[in-house]
Amino acid sequence: VPDVGKSFISLNLAASLAAKGRRVLLVDGDRRRGRLAQKLKLKGSKIETPLETRQGFSFVQAPEVEAHDQYFQDYDIVLVDSPPILVTADAAAWLDHVDLVTLVAWSGRQTAAELIEAQRRFEQLGANVGGWVLNGVSASTVGYQPYREYGFGSSYDAYRRA
């Protein structure tokens, strides 16, 4: 599903795992419109060497990884930020290299039918769909009321806004 924060989630997950000491490779798996190099502020939005390291994790673009399959063996975790499956079949090309697919959706942007179809396409291709990340959820949308059960009520909200 396009424009739901897949790259944002991928970048932050890579940085978090690397901070915990894992050897992480983040692959920009979008051959047509990959923008991770730009988000990582790499010179000219292209990597200068086949493998760049930022924030403790390594980064590579799709064409480079396809030419050097050994990249997958040198890391504890390989994250592939792929294009949306509902827009292009390119995401399916990575399934031979991954153990688990995590789908990302943005709260309120997609229909239930789109979400079901995205998962169905991966499952038909034999992917192990591990779950979903629901991005862009507002605490007020889901009725989250911090500390109300302790009797703080609106007086607590006044401190939060200050």
Neighbour-count burial for 110-148, b at 16+ CB within 10 Å, e otherwise: beeeebeebbebbeeeebeeeeeeeeeeeeeeeeeeeee
pLDDT 10s digits, 105-124: 988 888 999 999 999 999 99
Q: How does strand 57-61 pair with strand 52-54?
A: antiparallel
pLDDT averaged over every residue in the chain: 78
The CA distance from 14 to 28, in Å, is: 12
> What φ, ψ does residue 158 adopt, rounded to 5°?
-65, -40
Tell me, yes or no, if the pTM score tops 0.75: no
The candidate with the shortest Cα–Cα distance to 30, out of 104, 98, 110, 84, is 84
pLDDT for 75 beyond 90: no
